[in-house]
Amino acid sequence: MKIRAAVFCSVLLLAAPLLARDKTDVIVMKNGDRLTGEIKGLDSGVLYVNMDYILGTSSVQWSKVDHLESKQLFLVKTEDGSVYTGTLSTAETAEARPMKIEVAETPEHKVVLERSDIVQMGETSDKFWQRFNGEINTGIIYSKGNQSTQYSLGSEVIYPRERWSAGAAFDSTLSSSTGASASTRNQLDLRAVHLLRWNNWFYAGLGTFLQSSEQDITLQTMLGGGVGRYLKNTNHATISLLGGFGWEDTDYQHSVIPQGTQSVATGLIAGEAKFFKFDKTTLDVTGVFLPAISQPGRVHFNLNAAYYVKLVRNLKWNVSFYGNWDNRPPSHFSGSDYGTSSGLSWTFGNR
């Protein structure tokens, strides 16, 4: 519980509001509407803007933007995986031609991009604490009949840079009812990604730390890495696949050596698919497949899925699923643990 509380408090500190800057960015829509405020970023086909006269963050459909100007530095990512850093302006184009965005890295070095090719933008800064994005979600269910209580707590923090990013996600569930032992599950995921020189290719390192009372796992540690590629990277969907190798060490409860701790060398196949509809819904699915090399025929598989529906501003409702399977657990141990939860999510940064 102390570790869980420390992680949660750390995320709350990271979620503190970013230092404000002048709201002088200009956005002109195709219908002629003119907005002046602070462009927070672009994600999932949505341009996020803060304005002095509107509370919270406003959402603008990226395909409806005709013109924009900002002196703030942004990280700009395109469909082909290229990444640029610079201020934003609209390049001159012939009438009826698609809008082009000019990214000025320096006054002498400017890159002109098609608007439709830009899939993500985020404010960047020389200040470390202003670069974080993330979310916090929680849910609780109580039933008087059998005095049953279920709760879930989750958080995610991402630190993006021009050609690399690092992130951490923490998920915790607890279920208790009269006459039965409480069931707990805690999982911490770490991930670092660096883009390669070839468009949409990257290498990544993964780390997972799992505790599951259902599977009698005191601590399961998985470390791995490999090379991956973005198969699809647009304003409507992102799909990536990673292949490599890993190592897994599992410490079981109530066991004696040699079954108390098991170490396995594995292959690693990881995938993520994210689908979104303008400022309304998001579906995020991640899976990690671990075929054992040192124990041929043994396979571990982890799956996490979440569906988000926007309620208002940074507040969303979500329903999520988690699962962890092992086809050859130690004798008398469960080979699976899975469940669902729902609750509210609050996002910060460019999320």
Strand, helix or coil for residue 115: helix
The token pair at 224 is 């791995």
Q: How many CB atoms within 10 Å of residue 16?
A: 10
- 159: amino acid identity, one letter: Y
In order, the DSSP letters of 70-108 are EEEEEEEEETTS-EEEEEEEEEP--TTSPPEEEEESSSS
The helix (H) or strand (E) run that includes residue 126 is none
Q: What angle do CA 159, 117, 105 make, to 5 degrees?
A: 60
Q: Report the residue count for the chain.
A: 351
From first to last of the 351 residues of the chain, give the pLDDT tens digit: 444 444 444 444 444 444 456 788 899 888 889 999 888 888 878 888 888 877 767 888 888 888 888 888 888 888 877 888 888 888 766 565 667 888 887 777 888 888 888 888 877 765 566 667 788 988 887 766 667 788 889 999 988 877 888 999 999 988 887 777 778 999 999 999 998 888 789 999 999 999 998 888 999 999 999 999 999 888 788 999 999 999 999 988 765 445 556 889 999 999 999 998 876 889 999 999 999 999 999 999 999 999 999 888 778 999 999 999 999 888 778 889 988 888 999 887 655
The token pair at 286 is 């991640």
Q: Tokens 């999982």: give the residue.
A: 187
pTM over 0.75: no
Q: How far apart are CA 54 and CA 345, in angstroms?
A: 22
Q: How many CA atoms lie within 13 A of 76 on its CB side?
A: 25
Closest CA to 41 of 218, 160, 186, 135: 160
The answer to whether the bond into 258 is cis (omega within 30° of 0) is yes
- 173: amino acid identity, one letter: T
Structural domains of the chain ordered from first start = 20-126 (no CATH), 130-348 (2.40.160.40)
Q: Tokens 């290498």: give the residue.
A: 203
User: Residue 84 contacts by C-beta under 8 Å, 6 or more apart in sequence?
Assistant: 75, 76, 78, 103, 105, 111, 113, 162
Q: How many CB atoms within 10 Å of residue 9?
A: 10
- In contact, 217 and 211? CB cutoff 8 Å: yes
Q: How far apart are CA 209 and CA 179, in angstroms?
A: 29
- In contact, 266 and 250? CB cutoff 8 Å: no
